[in-house]
Structure 1
Amino acid sequence: MGTAVGTTVAGTSAAGTSGGTTVAGTSVGAPSAGATRGARPVAWLTLSALALGTLVACTPDRPTPDATAEALADGLAAFDLGDVPLEGVTGDDATAQVTAAVAGLDPWHPTVEVAEIAVAEDGLSATADLDVTWDVDPTDKDWTYTTQAPLEYVEPEDGDGRWQVRWSPALLAPGLAEGELLTVQRTPAERGVVLGAGGEPIVQPRPVLRLGVDKTKVDPAGQDASARALAAIAGIDPEAFAGRVAAAGPKAFVEAIVVRDVPPFDVDVEAARGVPGVGVLSDEIPLAPTRQFARSVLGTVGEATAEIVEASEGAVAAGDQAGLSGLQQQYDALLRGTPGLTIATTGAPGGGTRDLFRTEVVPGTPLQTTLDVRLQQLAESTLAGVGPASAIVAVRPSSGEVLAVASGPGGEGYSTATLGKYPPGSTFKVATSLALVRAGMTPQSPIACPPTVGADGRTFQNYPGYPADQLGDITLQRAIAWSCNTAMIGARETVGQAALADAAGSLGLGQSDDVGFPAFLGSVPAEAEGTDHAASMIGQGRIEASPLAMAVMAASVAAGRTVRPVLVVTGDHVPGATTGARVPLSADEAATLATLMRGVVTEGSAGFLADVPGEPVGAKSGTAQYGTQDPPRNHAWMIAVQGDLAVSVFVEDGDLGTTTAGPLLDAFLRGAAA
């Protein structure tokens, strides 16, 4: 900052005029041409003109007003004028005026820069143009204006001279008078809807009822009893709610619960209406079709928390609706839009107001997802009666679009489908098979399936009930069809851990790319020896995957390439995008794996899927032991492909993959085909 470059005469004015303002090219209260200071006209020139030698107004003994103008600019920006030499008011008084005037604009602060300083011919007065900018919303549109600050040079008889500012609140904002306040009126933007496949609305405004205590409709002596009665109906903490009611203002409506305005209600609305002072207000808020619809992934919307308001740097205000979790939170800036703003003055004599700045409402942008509403609801209804944490994920192999991400009620709100980390058990044998194929085997290659196999002192065996007639020397296809553990572990010398990790990566496990939503896509160590490597061959040990990751693995087999999952369609995340797999999956390799998975249905443990309507089904079951109990507890898995559909089913605590996850997969596939 400093004096501007230029030599033009700024006009004539009076050094004694108060601060003025220019907004969008219009001068408001600026020194007028021809005004006088006393009876003597004063000519004004920019300091840069003086520097060029046109006139000499600031002598070596008299400093320029630059430092004072800069101090004023800094003080206005910081709302602290304690270090600014002022005429007619103390720095503390001016600071108090500014603090009161801008309280309604919190947390905004302006940037203030000295644009130009014009000094009078006699060098005893000057005007500083201050460019003021307020960044009031996330858009590129700022509130900008210019104020003019009158400065005078004062040289006391008993001290050094100095430049000082003739104070006026108009230095802060256009035409602001003493006692006036700056206020902001926000017009909320309509929140963007969340769309599913084909543009079908998922989260959109839906009718609700807000139940609360209206303190204007119940005597103060009865408010506590009404609060506790409503809390009991709503199923919330009576003590806490009664405390909120007591702390609220005398005319407050204190909300207890919001319920969908679709019978049957989650609470007894009629009973609530009968409580003295309880109000039931109709409203609309963004909601999914049902309470549980992809809730752990889509997230929720509610009143912005103090942390959200603070982090938004003014984009979100107290009382605004904001995404509190899931995609609603991740894409909140896109969905919430931009509120309309009107900045005005209040407190003027006579009670009038003046609008100083206005922006129009910008509605939120819809968020396009790939979720298929029917399949998502089918997946959720399939899991509705499952007690342990569970999940069903469906992916379209040709595009990678995630069609369903259902987490069962046993997960208590956690996104088991996308974030769960579990050993995938024998479903991982699809990746093991790929590593064996790359080592030279075919579906008809012989492989030994003994009852047990040892690895560095540990004995591995097949699952309970493994058919005896599938033991001995069998083919790779039969080993996969009946899920022979000992065959896979016995082949561990053929496939090193690095090759196993590469094969898993070719099927989409362990992808580290940002996929546009919180997801765990698996972890397969590249180094393992002894029993650790042996366990990896059957999807245990340190191998972890989510139900989403296993659906992606199945989808890669069906697509003939490594699939990258897409749930949110944005510029960075579009269906059909390729992955950064270190070793890409070839079409021939995928065809071989598809043959092995089809064999699980036609001649192996998943024969119950043979008559599912539609295209032929390929599958793989999995059971992963966990815990320290004897016998160990089991995670139950199944994956399947059918045409352009890949599905993963998981139950955290079950029997075998075929007996626990299998019926759920069967029900989902038959429902999807209906």
Structure 2
Amino acid sequence: MKKMMSLLCAALCAATSLVACTPKPVSAQPVAEEFIEDFQSRNSEGLAALVDEPDAATAAIDSTFSGLQAEGVDIQLYDVNQQESIATAKYTMNWELPRDRTLSYDTEMTLTKKGSQWQVRWLPSLIHPSLGAHQALQLRSIPAERASVVSSDGVELMAPGLSYRVVVDKEGIADVRPLAAKVSGIIDKEHAADDSVSQVDAGDLAKNLEDTDGSYSVGVYNEKQIEPMRAELEAIPGVRVNEEPALITKEAGLAPDILSRVRSIVSDDTEGAAGWSVAVVNDNGAALSDVEYHKPAPAPAVRIGLDYNVQ
């Protein structure tokens, strides 16, 4: 009996010793935490030591910060599920965007064990779950539709539209005088057909161009005015026509002086509040889908104390 008890005690001690000597599995959580810290601080060297494809990972992370115009990111790790040689870490991304905007979502990373060390497997989804290869996130502004201007008796006087600005870019132009003569000639020719198009003196334009660095605005025209001369102007090296949002008078010749002053006074009141989105874009910058969307808020119509029938 004593011999049997001795054998049982010896076996129990041996089993206890074996359990005590079995090494504890290496945790993947410290590597996941370190990756998150390096992501938040944009520590490229630290990230490179943790990821299996460091160049692709650091380039994508830099592209994300740039595309989102991000002012910072806070990442909260909330779960690490570990198997023998693979682990999944789940976390919440909280991006700080311009104008006090935020972008929050959950995603995850995969870690694999290489020898006794854990390594983060590079996948675009560790930045956002909707990202695939050669894709990035981009913050985009969504302009609000501009409001109309209506008379006191409810007639629409001005509506949102486009104006056309003729601009000269001086870079690469050695002598501005021939260019000024061409631009002036085209505009003066249109003035002869439509006296609402203001003439441009070639000498004055040349002097203004000589005194200006960079770009110079020659004038702003409506669609009817620019259409006959746009192709000729844009054929001149250094000259371009910019399309710009504007309030366009619905009826030509209606109280032009009054409506011109009204336009300058109410312009800000017609703009509304722009919306914004975060889009998944490809290498060419083309939007594939939106992961966040906030629609714009158009401004209400602006009513002025001008009676259409009286005018």
TM-score, normalised to structure 2, is 0.55
Q: Is residue 337 of structure 1 aligned with residue 274 of structure 2? A: yes
Equivalent residue number for residue 112 of structure 1: 75
Structure 1: how far apart are the matches of 2:307 and 2:104? 51
Residues 186 and 200 (structure 1), Cα distance of their counterparts in 2 relative to 1, 3 Å cut? same
**Structure 2 residue corresponding to 1:226, chosen from 173, 179, 186:** 179
Task: Select the structure that is richer in strand.
Answer: 2
Structure 2: how far apart are the matches of 1:80 and 1:228? 56
1:272-671 pair list within 5 angstroms: 277=236, 285-286=246-247, 290-293=259-262, 295=264, 297-298=265-266, 300=267, 323=268, 335-338=272-275, 341=277, 343-347=279-283, 354-355=288-289, 357=291, 359=293, 361-366=295-300, 368=302, 371-373=304-306
**Structure 1 residue corresponding to 2:145, chosen from 154, 175, 190:** 190
Residues 194 and 115 (structure 1), Cα distance of their counterparts in 2 relative to 1, 3 Å cut? farther
Structure 1: how far apart are the matches of 2:147 and 2:275? 11
Equivalent residue number for residue 151 of structure 1: 111
Structure 2: how far apart are the matches of 1:206 and 1:88? 52
**Structure 2 residue corresponding to 1:165, chosen from 115, 120, 128:** 120
Shift of 1:366: 1.8
Partner SS state of residue 372, structure 1: coil
CA contact (8 A) 1:116 1:129 kept: yes
Give 1:86's aligned amino acid. L
Give 2:261's aligned amino acid. Q
Partner SS state of residue 46, structure 2: coil
Deviations 1:184-218 (A, max 9, x none): 66654322345675766566325644334599xxx
Shift of 1:279: 6.8
Shift of 1:176: 4.1
Shift of 1:172: 1.2
CA contact (8 A) 2:145 2:160 kept: no
Structure 2: how far apart are the matches of 1:177 and 1:107? 20
1:119-158 pair list within 5 angstroms: 119-120=82-83, 122=84, 125-134=86-95, 144-152=104-112
Structure 2 residue runs without a partner (length 5+):
1-21, 185-198, 250-257
CA contact (8 A) 1:114 1:129 kept: yes
Structure 2: how far apart are the matches of 1:154 and 1:269? 67
Q: Is residue 244 of structure 1 aligned with residue 215 of structure 2? A: yes
CA contact (8 A) 2:138 2:281 kept: yes
Structure 1: how far apart are the matches of 2:182 and 2:213? 9
Residues 81 and 261 (structure 1), Cα distance of their counterparts in 2 relative to 1, 3 Å cut? closer
Larger CA Rg, structure 1 vs 2:
1
CA contact (8 A) 2:147 2:302 kept: no
Equivalent residue number for residue 69 of structure 1: 32
CA contact (8 A) 2:74 2:95 kept: yes
Equivalent residue number for residue 13 of structure 2: none
Shift of 1:355: 2.9
Structure 1: how far apart are the matches of 2:33 and 2:263? 56
CA contact (8 A) 1:152 1:166 kept: yes
CA contact (8 A) 1:207 1:260 kept: yes
Residues 116 and 200 (structure 1), Cα distance of their counterparts in 2 relative to 1, 3 Å cut? farther
Structure 2: how far apart are the matches of 1:199 and 1:71? 64
Deviations 1:552-584 (A, max 9, x none): xxxxxxxxxxxxxxxxxxxxxxxxxxxxxxxxx
Structure 1 residue runs without a partner (length 5+):
1-56, 157-161, 246-254, 301-322, 379-674
**Structure 2 residue corresponding to 1:88, chosen from 49, 52, 73:** 52
Deviations 1:634-665 (A, max 9, x none): xxxxxxxxxxxxxxxxxxxxxxxxxxxxxxxx
Identity of aligned residues (%): 18
Q: How many pairs are equivalent?
A: 258
Structure 2: how far apart are the matches of 1:363 and 1:186? 12
Compare relative contact order (CA 8 Å, sep 6+) and give the higher one, 1 or 2: 2
CA contact (8 A) 1:143 1:357 kept: no
Let me know the Cα RMSD of the aligned residues: 5.3
Give 1:373's aligned amino acid. L
Structure 1: how far apart are the matches of 2:156 and 2:229? 33
CA contact (8 A) 2:50 2:120 kept: yes
Residues 225 and 83 (structure 1), Cα distance of their counterparts in 2 relative to 1, 3 Å cut? same
Residues 229 and 198 (structure 1), Cα distance of their counterparts in 2 relative to 1, 3 Å cut? same
Equivalent residue number for residue 258 of structure 1: 220
CA contact (8 A) 2:169 2:215 kept: no
Give 2:280's aligned amino acid. A
Shift of 1:129: 0.8
TM-score, normalised to structure 1, is 0.30
CA contact (8 A) 2:162 2:222 kept: yes
Shift of 1:104: 3.1
Shift of 1:273: 8.5
Shift of 1:166: 2.8
Partner SS state of residue 260, structure 2: coil
